[in-house]
Structure 1
């Protein structure tokens, strides 16, 4: 009985609380799983019926019942509608919407390319394989450790006819265990960072997690994690708290990580099988083939490689993963390849800080191969090209220091011959000559190089009559340029040739290709340890920049790229390569790393992330050579350690005509290389480009004055002088090691 002092509102509250719930459960039978039912909540009809008894229910009850009925019907339609876009055979859209397809490989070949790369240990990532590839079973991945998942109980497995087609395919890790390491300088030796652990590996899944521009990650934050995880904040760590999540470098153990799990019965989540009830279904359904080109025949791939941890190798260098840096250069040797080589000696573990390289060393020494194209990009080398190349190198003040015997084991000069190199690519050698007239193809823009005309002399000229006229070759013509002298005299042909050369060199010899406008900023040990192929992102665009390119010798990925490029006009422009991989769903095999690792200023120069820029802050690439006055105290105050600390290299984007050190534009390497310095100073004086430091009678005996130097030194100058002081023996390299002569 209700209390006599209850209000009307209290009475309604009690009545409302006594009503049945809005929903009631029902049990539905699950097909294929006997003995189990699914509990589903449905609207309670009796509760809806009682709405009429509420206050003002006669007016609101029918309206609420109508709304509830519409909501239930709409929900049922949404849940039962077939997702038309989830069929595995649905054609995918390339990222270059509107561009014609470049695809020449059918689904079976694409599957074989993925399977070859994964089995060879070239996919050390947990990222899924695109479902459009249509793999039936999860590939075993020797470059990933097992996650310890056992086979699911049988009653939870779906029946054989049930297929998941809405998700990608995961690889199944069966490789060695990973141990993530904390790299720091140990007190009291904290003046310099420690060298990376031999055989260590950078986990690019973690790097992508903290550095991917697609995920709104800042370059500044990425560089901090790269610094701390790589131990480059030696003695200057101001972060507090656990930083285990920022550890991105690991070493692999010798033992396997499967721990006895039976992966033969493991049902991965998800597993992808194409739904094919009709055996006559086109296996390439959903693939958009390049027009007027047949599908490529079945690929002939070499045997897969064996992924082995560094600790299990009999020798420190893995023959299947040679540590070779490639660089391509055309024209006179200048301060640009000079500084690239100097930064290589200053940062990489070349062993020049040791008197003799130990026979039992467990460190693999990297090599730098500088490929010289001796003349214009369209010219054919003469028979004496090798001899002429070395004579020119000896005579060049910028190149001659690297011919010193101290560097013979780590720096090598190679002669580039286009015909020889293309004939060395099995995928091209029998077909590329048909495209020789359009060899210089950049993004579909073709520069035609006319064939050399036979010289025909007029009979009158032979008789001594001057009735013929001769046309003098213009060395500044685009076809005859050797190097870029200014922004208006750009050697475009050499740039196009280098677009192709980088893929040729990596596919023939393995290793990493770098553009000549690149400066090393740290040891690449853990990048060599990561065995996947990679380039990096084109700033804000989800495309490749191949200024840094890592590929494996004779890989399935290389075969795919060369055959695709051949059928698309031998076009190796980065934007074209982006189309090839996007159309074929092979982007995962050529990882697009964040540009923070190799090109940290790029986003800022395009007006991105200027609210929180990295150090230094460049509004344009020219700031590297001409640092603005407001920032010009930083280069001398911070030095090499304050220049994009954490990045692996810096790409200054051309500026071939800008000297690194305008007031001392010569190789300043001390008495050991005095002849080259004298020649460079005298050449500047003869050309009328001498500054106050060059105007004496003998540039080496006359004492330079500090007043002849620029007051505020630019970043390019500070880096050049830092590297040179190491070669002169006045300071150690970035890891505290002194050069030994």
Structure 2
């Protein structure tokens, strides 16, 4: 029987696939290594392929591609083994891999182009001081003790010698000057601390005085570096967490401390111990390494762009830097170089808005109102509040009787009259603002402002041409006429009033009626705060600010600060601290002169940024002074502080879902830990804090003022003036503004102590 020859099975020759006979059964390789590799999946997901780069012969581009062997190992559906599908997926992957880095490089390039544009000599800049003058300003502030910080100096100014810092403790381990030459950069970025040692204290109420939080230790200081570490929005810190650190570090969580464990990292209040180490006051020589640059051999204005169209400012005439003295070494508790004066500015008739601010000052600050008037203390410096009144429109100049007229109006006004009581004379002082006198009193402004008095009002580059008359003239002061007047006289007077009203409207930028707050005075106040702080020293506060705690530790910190404009890296100067006659003040005033007398906070931000002086005017987190701002702009709403305001109007009209909180938790539940609350009153000047009782409610001592205000309210609301007050007159759920105001008024009436448990004595 003939033999039958069976041909061998047809083998698949596809690369990377198992060989299969025609019947579909696999034929395995004889290589054990290959079989093990396939079984255990050691093939990498990606393999690197290098391709030449056009025009670059020495380098090749490495591209990760999907490994086909790895695809084979996966139990994929058979359609995925088709070459065209695999290649399509691979192409899509490569496109994604190429587009993402390209987009990222484009974003980086755009960012660098913006930086190059800012650094170019043709970029917009506000700088008018040379590099060496900026270094002198830095040196003056550091030497005066106005830089108690460990933050680095700006390397752009090329400090070649280490400034000696009497307000910062010795820091041998961190300073560049303590390193060997071979490890030192030619540019210095740290100061040499020679100040007293710091003792960070644990502030808590002690038995038996545990009902209220304790007053801050006289002379204690807030370490703003620590506060920045816990509160800086740029570092993704939450306002809620910041306030907890602030209240625990200050002992405001009285009898309610729920945190356990060591809280040293949350301590931010310290007292200085010992004296300044003047024996370490040795200026280190410049680093003479191979890369060192000697300042005398270079252009002092190199790499700095000057404002176009103006000349460099001459060398600033700075007074001798005052010697820094720790609090415990002062001969008296009040340092004349750092007077504790709050400044506020108000234009026109006094209302419930500055009334609320003054009450908050009496309720929170250490004024000694709980002690007999004859009592004197030698270890406490009592702050004062100077309320600057501009009686007429911003552009007017007071007449010779203006001061007398101002006090007559204050006595007749029920909102201001209580603060003229003799009990408050050492705490609150009313002062008259005179633009001409103030500008003439400041050397940096007196020779320049008259040349532009017709356009002195500049806000963010928008100039309002309202001239200031230098001669003495009355503003809207009407003398009372005796006897009866004829019908023609009455018509003439009415026409004159209408003419005067239109003239007043010219001075009210953005106002809709003469009864509204003088808008131009808001612009004037932008300049007034810098003038007042530079001339007298102290802290300026907008009149729509409510103080929430003692500011002792902020007074102890001798540097300058404002606070952050919400999410932006800009200043809000609603709170501004600056030293009297400081080098920083000279810089800001002279820079403003060369930039059109613009004192808008956004423009101030440009001044310090262009000159690398931002650390000298520290931009504190708004959590300290404006805790609701981020929430009102839809930031941090997932973890808001208490209370939660989605809008500033929530303070005056608390939403129904939340308006049980004010009455339940009261003042002590209102942004506890913050130093103040800024309710941004420009939109709420006509909104009363207490709609049901829109008059001062301060008790029998101020009964005449209350009756006058009640009469006005009765006429406006059409109710009987002498009728008995009923609880049903109140809104059923009190708003936050009402609760806060009534808390302050209850303290003046003697029905409760202040926030530190001190009762007002008369």
- Under a length normalisation based on structure 2, what TM-score does the superposition of the two structures give? 0.79
In the aligned structure 2, how far is the partner of 1:223 from the partner of 1:109? 39
| 1:30 equivalent in structure 2 | none
SS of the aligned residue for 2:577 comes to strand
**1:501: Cα distance to partner?**
0.3
**1:430: Cα distance to partner?**
1.1
| 1:685 equivalent in structure 2 | 714
| 1:215 equivalent in structure 2 | 235
SS of the aligned residue for 2:615 comes to helix
2:293 equivalent among 268, 275, 294 = 275
List per-residue Cα deviations over 1:609-651 (Å, max 9, x = no partner). 0000000000000000000000000000000000000000000
**1:413: Cα distance to partner?**
0.2
- Are residues 1:186 and 2:206 paired? yes
Partners of 1:222 and 1:596 within 8 A in 2: yes
In the aligned structure 2, how far is the partner of 1:632 from the partner of 1:95? 51
**How many residues matched?**
648
- Are residues 1:740 and 2:755 paired? no
Instruction: Indicate the larger mover: 249-258 or 408-417.
Output: 249-258
**1:526: Cα distance to partner?**
0.1
Partners of 1:351 and 1:357 within 8 A in 2: no
- Are residues 1:106 and 2:134 paired? no
Within 5 Å, give how 1:709-720 maps onto structure 2: 709-720=730-741
Cα separation, partners in 2 of 1:316 and 1:482, compared to 1, 3 Å: farther
In the aligned structure 1, how far is the partner of 2:455 from the partner of 2:176? 57
| 1:293 equivalent in structure 2 | 310
| 2:215 equivalent in structure 1 | 195
In the aligned structure 2, how far is the partner of 1:272 from the partner of 1:118? 29
| 1:635 equivalent in structure 2 | 662
| 2:181 equivalent in structure 1 | 158
- Are residues 1:728 and 2:749 paired? yes
Cα RMSD of the aligned pairs, angstroms, is 3.7
Cα separation, partners in 2 of 1:239 and 1:338, compared to 1, 3 Å: same
- Are residues 1:121 and 2:121 paired? no
In the aligned structure 1, how far is the partner of 2:388 from the partner of 2:690? 25
| 1:48 equivalent in structure 2 | none
1:580 equivalent among 569, 584, 607 = 607
Instruction: Indicate the larger mover: 706-715 or 521-530.
Output: 706-715
In the aligned structure 2, how far is the partner of 1:341 from the partner of 1:153? 48
| 1:389 equivalent in structure 2 | 406
In the aligned structure 2, how far is the partner of 1:544 from the partner of 1:265? 35
- Are residues 1:399 and 2:416 paired? yes
Instruction: Indicate the larger mover: 371-380 or 488-497.
Output: 488-497
| 1:440 equivalent in structure 2 | 457
List per-residue Cα deviations over 1:230-250 (Å, max 9, x = no partner). 100000111111111000000
**1:490: Cα distance to partner?**
5.4
**1:497: Cα distance to partner?**
0.3
Segments of structure 2 that go 5 or more residues without pairing to the other structure are 1-30, 38-42, 63-108, 110-114, 474-488
SS of the aligned residue for 2:196 comes to strand
**1:348: Cα distance to partner?**
0.1
**1:257: Cα distance to partner?**
5.4
SS of the aligned residue for 2:717 comes to coil
Cα separation, partners in 2 of 1:369 and 1:152, compared to 1, 3 Å: closer
Partners of 2:50 and 2:61 within 8 A in 1: no
Cα separation, partners in 2 of 1:104 and 1:402, compared to 1, 3 Å: same
In the aligned structure 1, how far is the partner of 2:651 from the partner of 2:304? 46
In the aligned structure 1, how far is the partner of 2:195 from the partner of 2:61? 50
Bigger Rg, which one: 2
| 2:477 equivalent in structure 1 | none
Partners of 2:625 and 2:674 within 8 A in 1: yes
Segments of structure 1 that go 5 or more residues without pairing to the other structure are 1-6, 14-55, 74-84, 86-90, 456-463
Within 5 Å, give how 1:388-537 maps onto structure 2: 388-450=405-467, 472-474=499-501, 477-481=504-508, 489=516, 491-537=518-564
In the aligned structure 2, how far is the partner of 1:321 from the partner of 1:271? 41
List per-residue Cα deviations over 1:531-568 (Å, max 9, x = no partner). 11000000000000000000011000000001000011
- Under a length normalisation based on structure 1, what TM-score does the superposition of the two structures give? 0.81
List per-residue Cα deviations over 1:70-95 (Å, max 9, x = no partner). 6999xxxxxxxxxxx9xxxxx98759
Partners of 1:485 and 1:657 within 8 A in 2: no
